[in-house]
Structure 1
């Protein structure tokens, strides 16, 4: 290995990093006077795997309303906005007392949709935007707190995202994105393939599953969407690789579990059963 290479994080260091303030650990205080924190939830009507997914009902409420209510329950946001390409979704959000903005139908990614909404809201350069996926009906407060804390504690990092230990059955699943980290909690690479590659089979690689929630400083979000798609992003179909390809840092906070998300009817049923407990 070259002298300047950075090792991937082995499994035995994960627990230590979860409590490390430099990795957005729970010891880091949050709260700052010169910016606000917003949640923007991108929601498009044209899902290929689950058509009209944001409007599918779970225990009597549309999925997008569960996402909105869950974000509200964290108590961490100055405001919460649903950014959508659908007047129907917007009407549902407003009928349930939420705020929404109509955005362009042609956005290539959820991040581009979030940026359009942030631009219309005229947010400050240092404001933090948390991009919560419109198919995640359960948002864990501790995850959002860690993301905010990382950006507060590391002014050199303008984008952060969570990861958790991957389950055995997730390692080979290309729909479960894996990530490897540097020693100080920065993303080295994201991939649909198992990374790091376990050549000899005699060590625990400590596979980490990426969780698709992002926090950014608004000024960086403007910069990010102005960048062209990179080669790796196109190959892997992972928009976060755009930041890495252009030399930007992505902080990764470690959490103990992934939130529930809805990609299939089976996922929808699992979420229904989970929410019945509350």
Structure 2
């Protein structure tokens, strides 16, 4: 099966302009993401998708493959679909360009269900939430799934809601299983080409979670389990944490 990983990378960022090109131990961040993605056993090809010439030059400078895309895409998925329309692939993996510590095994875990389940159009990952702080944090997206591992709902709210002991959550938190969503997606190529054409939906706009569009239009999302972790870079403080981690591990 032909699996292509696409890494959308924008230079403009409200919180951290120029993020893909920030230096991490002598390499731009986008290179760390590219090289780690290429270590996935499932991926045959890695492409950076960007609308910025500076990122294009950086990627070509370290020998990576890059595709220039339109600058007016409203979402990363739209940028992904533009690239997918011009490549020969069965599955397309969306790897975030601000994940320099992405574990390639996470990609393999997300891809596996779609390799063996031809009827699955889209997949992603979830990981256990181990602290009340994460559970209550609206910046940590939660997900609940059915018994077959398909998403029932994604939310910034703390779901599921433990009605019987909500008033004393701290004492009972260990009794509930709660999961956070890991923003790594796998699409069957034909579904990815259809996805941007689906109209925006009420819940998607309310929660500001694009994956709800698929659910509201009746498409199922397979959610694989992982206990692997990564460290995204949203702020300069995150960048320093990543540098510290890489300096400690030497890789």
User: TM-score w.r.t. structure 2 length?
Assistant: 0.92
Contact 1:211 1:258 in 2 (8 A): no
Paired positions, count: 241
Contact 1:65 1:93 in 2 (8 A): yes
Partner of 1:238: 209
State the shift of 1:96 in Å: 0.8
Find the residue that maps to 1:93 and give its secondary structure: helix
Contact 2:23 2:29 in 1 (8 A): yes
Separation in structure 1 between the aligned mates of residue 176 and residue 15 of structure 2, nearest angstrom: 32
Partner of 1:274: 245
State the shift of 1:154 in Å: 2.0
Partner of 1:82: 48
State the shift of 1:220 in Å: 0.7
Partner of 1:165: 128
1:44 equivalenced with 2:15 (yes/no):
no
1:185 to 120, 127, 149: 149
State the shift of 1:87 in Å: 0.8
Partner of 1:109: 75
Find the residue that maps to 1:200 and give its secondary structure: helix
Q: How does 1:193-208 map to 2 (within 5 A)?
A: 193-201=157-165, 202=172, 204-208=175-179
Q: Higher helix fraction: Structure 1 or Structure 2?
A: 2
State the shift of 1:176 in Å: 1.1
Contact 2:49 2:79 in 1 (8 A): yes
Q: Which runs of 5+ in 1 are unaligned?
A: 1-34
Partner of 2:168: none
Q: Which runs of 5+ in 2 are unaligned?
A: 166-171
- CA deviation digits over 1:76-112, x for unaligned, max 9? 3221000011111011000110010111111111111
Find the residue that maps to 2:136 and give its secondary structure: coil
Partner of 1:92: 58
Contact 1:165 1:257 in 2 (8 A): no
| More divergent stretch after superposition (137-146 vs 110-119) | 137-146
- CA deviation digits over 1:114-157, x for unaligned, max 9? 11111122x24xx1111000001122232222222101222221
1:217 equivalenced with 2:188 (yes/no):
yes
State the shift of 1:59 in Å: 1.2
Q: How does 1:140-179 map to 2 (within 5 A)?
A: 140-168=103-131, 169-179=133-143
Partner of 1:72: 38
State the shift of 1:67 in Å: 0.5
Partner of 2:169: none
Partner of 1:21: none
User: TM-score w.r.t. structure 1 length?
Assistant: 0.83
Runs of 4 or more consecutive aligned structure 1 residues displaced over 3 Å after TM superposition: none
Contact 2:41 2:108 in 1 (8 A): no
